[in-house]
């Protein structure tokens, strides 16, 4: 289970959403609902959301991605607030996908293989609860698939002498959009930072 920040001194946040982008810089799709009928949403935390968002916008069948915050208590947090660890949130990417073109198991396989889910409140050199690994689901099917995939990947990690998965897996409460400059950051800044680094262990699903 993931390690969480101490929210006994949680920041109050605000009643209204912070300003963000309206459309995806690459495909022009709206970052905001409503999304096409039949499409599904899953929210993933793998460390710094810049590289995570690029990873998933490149996947076939993904309709739109957006950087944001989830898993905490502070309403409508800013980036600076989230970085204090006092919002309880982790950096995440909202992935809206067509299940007829992007299999959930494939998205989960990418999730497990492209970061290290055993590090607790960090991802590589990025340290803090805002970088913890997380899967926030929006359907019962997604929740079961995420839990089953974690069990399968843990067995693979065990065989490779790796540690225990610390990924937080639970239904999504609220997704909060990050500021406009974070949206599709690596499209706007192609040479920008990407901290993604997997364990080198294959996830036996998908």
Q: Which residues are catalytic?
A: 48
Tokens representing 169? 């897996």
Helix/strand/coil (H, E, C) string of the chain? CCCCCCCCCCCCCCCCCCCCCCECCCCCCECCCCCCCCCEEEEEEECCHHHHHHHHHCCCCEEEEEEEEECCCCCCCCHHHHHCCCCCCEEEEEEEECCCCCCHHHHHHHHHHCCCCCCCCEECCEECHHHCEEEEECCHHHHHHHHHHHHHHHHHHHHCCCCCCCCEEEECCCCEECCHHHCCHHHHCCCCCCCCCCCCCCCCCC
**Pairwise CA distance, residues 43 & 91, whole Å:** 10
């Amino acid at each position: 289970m993931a390690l969480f920040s101490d929210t006994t001194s949680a920041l109050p946040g605000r009643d209204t959403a912070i300003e963000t982008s309206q459309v995806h810089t690459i495909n022009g799709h709206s970052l905001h609902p409503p999304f096409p009928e039949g499409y599904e949403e899953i929210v993933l935390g793998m460390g710094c959301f810049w590289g995570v968002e690029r990873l998933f916008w490149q996947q076939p069948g993904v309709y739109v991605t957006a950087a944001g915050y989830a898993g905490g208590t502070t309403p409508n947090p800013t980036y600076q607030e989230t970085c204090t660890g006092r919002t309880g949130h982790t950096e995440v990417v909202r992935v809206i996908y067509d299940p007829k073109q992007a299999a959930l198991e494939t998205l989960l396989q990418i999730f497990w293989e492209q970061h290290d889910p055993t590090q607790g409140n960090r991802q590589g050199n990025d340290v803090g609860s805002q970088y913890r690994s997380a899967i926030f689901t929006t359907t019962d099917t997604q929740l079961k698939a995420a839990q089953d995939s974690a069990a399968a990947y843990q067995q693979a990690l065990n065989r490779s002498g790796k540690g225990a998965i610390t990924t937080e897996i639970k239904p999504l409460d609220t997704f909060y959009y990050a500021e406009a400059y974070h949206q599709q950051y690596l499209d706007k800044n192609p040479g920008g930072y990407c901290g993604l680094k997997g364990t080198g262990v294959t996830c036996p699903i998908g």
